[in-house]
Chains A and B, each alone.
Chain A
Amino acid sequence: MEKDQDKILNEVTQGEYKYGFVTDVDAESIPKGLNEDVVRLISQKKNEPEFMLEFRLKAFRHWQKMKMPDWAHLNIPEIHYQDIIYYSAPKRKADVPKNLDDIDPELKATFDKLGIPLDEQKRLAGVAVDAVMDSVSVKTTFKENLAELGIIFCSFSEAVQEHPDLVKKYMGSVVPYTDNFFAALNSAVFSDGSFCYIPKGVKCPMELSTYFRINAANTGQFERTLIVAEDDSYVSYLEGCTAPMRDENQLHAAIVEIVANKNAEVKYSTVQNWYPGDKNGKGGIYNFVTKRGKCAGDNSKISWTQVETGSAITWKYPSCLLIGDNSVGEFYSVAVTNNHQQADTGTKMIHIGKNTKSTIVSKGISAGKSNNSYRGLVKVVKNATNARNFSQCDSLLLGDKCGAHTFPYLEVDNKNSIVEHEATTSKIGEDQIFYCNQRGIKTEDAIGLIVNGYAKEVLNKLPMEFAVEAQKLLQISLEGSVG
């Protein structure tokens, strides 16, 4: 039995990364290294207005003064920032693809492999997609349909060209370039990303989605997403990420900013599946992401749902600034680490407005030799009367060489707020496995069943299409892990 379990554990934990192909697409990149000229070059290549260049340069100068943070419970090998290519774009035949036929066939094949609903038949799925490859937005679907409602959903560079006022107003308003080391780096060199604007009173009728893929070698991916939801609007936004298998580590430092005005609701879901490196911890993506939402208006709501299965190292804290009265922040997360993966992830809920509420549900699953940490801050300032928070952080350990850690910070400055935090650490019980075996369920399936049950609270929050994918991902990531 013990042996069997070990065998199954190995199988489960060593499932192959199925997105590890490289697409042979001509890419245009600039030489390695980072200096002011590179920043200017990026800005020039993207034909950006003056205010963008200024923003980038300010960020770059600030970044030079900063040191890489080392407080996380992570072991990050030294990153040589001068060895990274900061701009890589798939070459385009014409200027901009006018329809699907214009897209590089290789590229199209890539997205077909990924199962991204770019083409006609997927239109039935009712998902509008903005695909970003090596930091450049390739194709946005359903743009026209959305435009009828006044919704702007396009690549960030397009938004810079066509809606500079909006970009100028909101870019950096939630995550300023001074925020942290990686945010400053991103602000200086970001190449593209998605931009989404929901006008007043509009409920976006379909899920908006972005797919990120790093393709070229030695490149860093620095994309930037900005979502603005005006009064009384609603949008649900999905994000997926994959990368090819490479021996060397690649850097991904993104920024996501969300602004929710009065009565607006934004739901942001991520399935992060960057290449996690091989069994021995070689290669993989460093995923250092700053995600933050601002509930600026009264009664607004921002909800983060994330399934984190990939990346060699994850450093990510999707946060909510609850500024408007009665605003709500939510964070649902499943983070799986296997082999030599490391994750330090969690959230920050800053209660500023009155009667603000936040919920945190974090489920960590560690297997192999991985380390998985939850780090979260719940802060209630003095004027945030009647604030309410509930946090639950559970860890599941599969195997005796992995680690599960919890670092919650609770800071409360007034008397009528209630803040609760609880956490448990456990492993899959032999009795649970036995129960399943007894009913004819194989040990491997039983683990999948138990893990999915454990993560169900979070998976339920995902939109349908993603939930199915996430469940499969969980199973693949954990193939064979029994404690």
Chain B
Amino acid sequence: MSVETTDIDVKDKFVELYNNNQDILKKGAPDYINQIRDEAFQKFKKLGLPDKKNEDYKYTDIKSLFNNGLKTFLSPKDIEFNVDDIFKCDVPDLNTEVIILLNGWYYNREKQLAELPGGAVIGSFQKATEEYPELVKKHFNQYADNEKEGLVALNTAFVKDGIFLYVPKGAVIEKPIQIINLLMDDENDFTQHRNLFIFEENSQASLVVCDHTLSTSNFLTNSVSEFFVDKNASLDFSRIQNEHNGSKQVSHLYFYQEKDSRINTNTISLHGGLIRNNINVLLNGEGCENNTLGLYLTDKGQHIDNHVFIDHAKPNCTSNQLFKGVLDDYATGAFNGKVLVREDAQKTQAYQANNNILLTDDATINTKPTLIIYADDVKCSHGATVGQLDMDALFYLRSRGINEKEAKLLLMYAFAHEVIKKIKIPALQERIHELVDKRLRGELSRCNFCYMNCK
């Protein structure tokens, strides 16, 4: 089942798509999901898609993404392949539990939910709505913002599948869980997956999410992930975005933190035609810690837009944002970080930094680090810089016999290192070092234009 969404008025197309296919959408989904679906659809009808007049989307033109003859699939397409044959992970030494989403659908159709050590459950979101209705009911759509974000409402209205992860009280999952989002189709797809991650009290887990494209079609992804992190739980979340230049993605991450919980996130954007990351964090208990880091390396006509919102709702929390980027060729980038310290969130510490290097005159960066503070006993600071490589440092290296190209690479590498060194999984850190090195040398870019997948 597919419908083309080529017309200029995209909103009406989606409204029509929804109205005409309610049966398919609602079939097999429990009532409580369908009820939320209908509400979200009404909200989408009101909100529509964000345009450039929307302050939050000032630097990224969302509407134009949809004018690409994209198809929306309401049920998984049968694409047979052996993962091992065509896909080799970027991080071969990573000892992980591997889960695959293909075009937004849980890949392993035979075994849709699997048990992990410590009683944790991972698998298809669709299946989980049937098997774990209580859990899903409690958390699904509780943290995502359907009121303001038209794209989130759209995702909720069309919710079908995605990843479901449940880590019960006190469970400690040693082995990192790796989620691979694969896009592979001979048609141009619009995919929307919906993930739900639940980490109960005192649990610990680490997640690695990788985005890949395996065919040359144009893709557009609009994904929403919700993370509930309960008291004293800790989550380490790394993300590697490595899609080809014809692929575009908008992802919305919502992190909800309870008392004394800790979250580290690293978003490494290596490749992709257009990437828009919305990272929202609500610190809703005392003593929370949140580190949100990102690194983006763009070239050609790529566009990257990182949007971070940290909401300090309770006292004594610490948050730290660090986003660094290198922009080459005619790439464009944007960073919008917002820290809100609410009235009684005293003793808050919030730091925010965004550093950019522009390598050419055609590259553009727009950065907007914002602080909104309503409490007085806080330590908040933010900083943003746009510049080039330090000429003195370059001279220092050159004077020691390192040629200009290598010296520049070294400096860029060092610039990126500040983010990479915060990645907690050693094998991943090492591999990202390599990937960044390759990326800065322009090798990865070549690989991405080649369909051999030899890596």
The SS class assigned to the B binding surface is strand
* Contact of B376 with A by CB under 8 A: yes
B8 contacts A by Cβ under 8 Å: no
> Please, which residues of chain B bring their CB within 8 A of the CB of A424?
380-381
CA distance A382 to B365 in the complex (A): 11
Q: Does A397 contact B (CB under 8 A)?
A: yes
Cβ < 8 Å to B, chain A residues 400-415:
400-415
Closest B residue to A407 using CB positions = B370
Complex alpha-carbon distance, A382 and B358, angstroms: 12
Collect the chain A residues with CB atoms within 8 Å of residue B382's CB: 406, 421-423
CA distance A406 to B341 in the complex (A): 12
Partner of B388, one of A403, A413, A418, A423: A418
How far, in Å, is A245 (CB) from chain B's closest CB? 29
Partner of A399, one of B362, B371, B376, B384: B376
Q: Smallest distance from the beta carbon of A377 to chain B beta carbons, Å? A: 9
CB <8 Å contact, B386 and A412? yes
Do A412 and B365 contact each other (CB < 8 Å), given the known contacts A71-B55, A400-B376, A425-B378? yes
The reply on B361 being an interface residue by CB < 8 A is yes
Residues on the B chain within 8 Å of A385, using CB: 361
A422: chain B residues at CB < 8 Å are 381-384
Residues 368 to 388 of chain A near chain B (Cβ within 8 Å): 382, 385
With an 8 A cutoff between CB atoms, is A419 at the interface?
Answer: yes
Check if B368 sits within 8 Å of A403, measured CB to CB: no
- A36 interfacial contact with B, CB 8 Å: no
Q: How far is the CB of A364 from chain B (nearest CB, A)?
A: 10
CA A306 to CA B384, docked complex, whole Å: 24
B219–chain A nearest beta-carbon distance, Å:
29
| A418 lies within 8 A of B377 (CB) | no
**A483 with B377: CB separation less than 8 A:** yes
B192 interface contact, C-beta 8 A: no
Within 8 A of B (CB), among A420-441: 420-427
By beta carbon, the residue of chain A nearest B350 is: A425
Chain A: CB-nearest residue to B348: A425
**Are A421 and B369 closer than 8 Å at their CB atoms?**
yes
Contact A409 B359 (CB under 8 A): no
Q: Which of A382, A401, A403 makes the CB contact (< 8 A) with B373?
A: A403
What residues on B are CB-neighbors of A410 within 8 Å?
Answer: 365-368, 384, 386
The reply to whether A406 and B371 form a contact with Cβ atoms under 8 Å apart is yes
Check A400/B346 contact, CB under 8 A, given A411-B366, A427-B376. yes
B392 nearest CB across to chain A (Å): 13
B372 on the interface (CB 8 Å rule)?
Answer: yes
Residues of B within 8 A of A402 (CB): 374, 376
CB distance from B70 to the nearest CB of A (A): 30
Are A420 and B361 in contact (CB-based, < 8 A)?
no
CB closest residue in chain A, given B371: A406
Are B373 and A415 interface neighbours, CB within 8 A?
no
Known: A405-B370, A415-B358, A415-B361. A420 touches B378 (CB 8 A): no
| Pairwise interchain contact B373-A405, C-beta atoms closer than 8 A | yes
Given A397-B376, A398-B376, A404-B373, CB of A416 within 8 Å of CB of B388 = yes
Q: A415-B360, A420-B384 are in contact. Are A426 and B379 (CB under 8 A)?
A: yes
Interchain CA distance A405-B339 in the complex, whole Å: 10
Q: Are A415 and B384 in contact (CB under 8 A)?
A: no
Q: How far is the CA of A404 from the CA of B359 in the complex (A)?
A: 35
B401 within 8 A of A: no
Residue among A405, A415, A426, A427 with most chain B CB within 10 A: A415
Instruction: Specify the chain B residue showing the minimal Cβ separation from A388.
Output: B387
A401 and B381: CB pair below 8 A?
Answer: no
Is B298 close to A, CB under 8 A? no
The yes or no answer to A326 lying at the interface (CB within 8 A) is no
A202 to B379, CA, bound (A): 49
**Complex: how many Å from CA A407 to CA B382?**
11
- Please pick, from A395, A408, A415, the residue contacting B369 in the complex, using a CB distance under 8 A: A408
Cβ of A417 within 8 Å of any chain B Cβ, yes or no, is yes
A399→B373 CA distance, assembly (Å): 12
B366 to A, closest residue via Cβ: A411
Tell yes or no: B188 within 8 A of A by CB: no
B377 near A400 (CB under 8 angstroms)?
A: yes
Minimum CB–CB distance for A413 against chain B, Å = 5
Q: Given A414-B361, A425-B381, decide whether A397 and B386 contact each other with a Cβ distance below 8 A.
A: no
Using CB atoms, name the residue of chain B closest to A403: B374
Tell me, yes or no, whether B250 is within 8 Å of chain A by CB: no
- Of A73, A398, A407, A483, the residue contacting B368 (CB under 8 A) is A407
User: Is B375 located at the chain interface by the 8 A CB criterion?
Assistant: yes
Interchain CB contact under 8 A, B359 and A415:
yes
Q: Is the CB of A421 within 8 A of B379?
A: no
* CB–CB B386/A425 < 8 A: no
B384 touches A412 (CB 8 A): no
Q: List, in ascending order, chain A residues with CB within 8 A of B370's CB.
A: 405-408
Shortest C-beta distance, A132 to chain B (Å), equals 36
Q: Which residue on chain A has the smallest CB distance to residue B344?
A: A400
User: What residues of chain A lie closer than 8 Å to B346, measured between beta carbons?
Assistant: 400
> In the complex the two chains form, is A418's CB within 8 Å of B373's CB?
no
Contact between chains at B371 and A423 (CB < 8 Å): yes
Q: Which residue of A lies closest to B383 (CB)?
A: A422
CB pair A415–B388 under 8 Å, yes or no, is: yes
Q: Which chain B residue has the least Cβ–Cβ distance from A397?
A: B376
B363 touches A (CB below 8 Å): yes
Docked-complex contact B361 and A405, CB < 8 angstroms: no
Task: Please state if B385 and A421 are interface contacts (CB–CB under 8 Å).
Answer: yes
Q: From known contacts A404-B373, A406-B371, A413-B364, infer whether A419 and B380 are also in contact, taking CB-CB under 8 Å.
A: no
A405 to B374, CA, bound (A): 8
CA distance A385 to B369 in the complex (A): 24
Q: How far apart are B332's CB and chain A's nearest CB, in angstroms?
A: 9
Partner of A405, one of B367, B371, B388: B371
Do A401 and B371 have beta carbons less than 8 Å apart?
Answer: no
Chain A residues whose C-beta falls within 8 Å of the C-beta of B385 in the assembled complex: 418-421
- Closest residue of chain B to A418 (Cβ to Cβ) is B387
Bound Cα distance A382, B361 (Å):
7
Q: Is B343 an interface residue (CB 8 A)?
A: yes
Cβ-neighbour of A423 out of B367, B374, B379, B383 (below 8 A): B383
A/B interface sample: 29 pairs, CB < 8 A: A71-B55, A385-B361, A397-B373, A400-B346, A404-B371, A405-B370, A405-B373, A406-B369, A406-B382, A408-B369, A408-B370, A408-B384, A411-B367, A412-B365, A415-B358, A415-B360, A415-B363, A417-B386, A418-B386, A418-B387, A419-B386, A420-B383, A422-B384, A424-B380, A425-B378, A425-B379, A425-B381, A426-B379, A427-B376
Q: Name the 9 nearest CB pairs between A and B, nearest first.
A: A397-B376, A422-B383, A415-B358, A425-B380, A419-B386, A412-B386, A418-B387, A406-B371, A414-B361
Residues of chain B having any CB pair with chain A under 8 Å: 55, 343, 346, 356, 358-388
Known A412-B358, A427-B377; 13 more pairs at CB < 8 Å = A397-B375, A401-B343, A403-B372, A405-B373, A410-B365, A410-B386, A411-B366, A414-B358, A418-B386, A418-B388, A421-B369, A422-B384, A483-B376
